A = this chain, B = another copy of it.
Amino acid sequence: MTARQNFAYNLRSLRSTKGISQERLADLAELHRTYVSSVERCERNISIDNMEKLAAALGVDIRDLLQPNDNPSDRIR
C-alpha cells in the first residue's frame, strides 16, 4: 500500500462520490483529462503542487487523499 496507490484510490473514490467526471475534475484543477486518468490508474508520480490542485478541486484537504484504505485491488499488487 504505497502513498501513490492510496492517493489514486481516494481520488477516484472521492471524485465519483461527488459525481463528477475526470474531465470536469481536470478542468477544475487546471490539469489535463488524460493526466487525471493516469493518476487514478496509479501510473504517475504526481507532484505536491498537483496533489494540492486536485484536493482543492474536490474541496477536500490534501491529507484526505492520502488516507490509507484497504481496497482489494491494492492488495493484489
Q: Which residues of A contact B (CB under 8 A)?
A: 2-4, 7, 45-49, 51-52, 55, 62-63, 66-67
Contact = CB atoms under 8 A, between A and B. Distances in A.
Given A3-B52, A66-B66, 13 more contacts: A2-B52, A3-B48, A4-B48, A4-B52, A7-B48, A45-B48, A46-B48, A47-B47, A47-B48, A48-B51, A63-B63, A63-B66, A63-B67
A2 B51 CA distance: 11
A46 to B, nearest CB: 5
Contacts of A52: 2-4
In this complex, the member of A7, A47, A49 whose beta carbon has the largest number of chain B beta carbons within 10 angstroms is A47
13 contacts: A2-B52, A3-B48, A3-B62, A4-B48, A7-B48, A45-B48, A45-B49, A46-B48, A47-B48, A48-B48, A48-B51, A63-B66, A66-B66
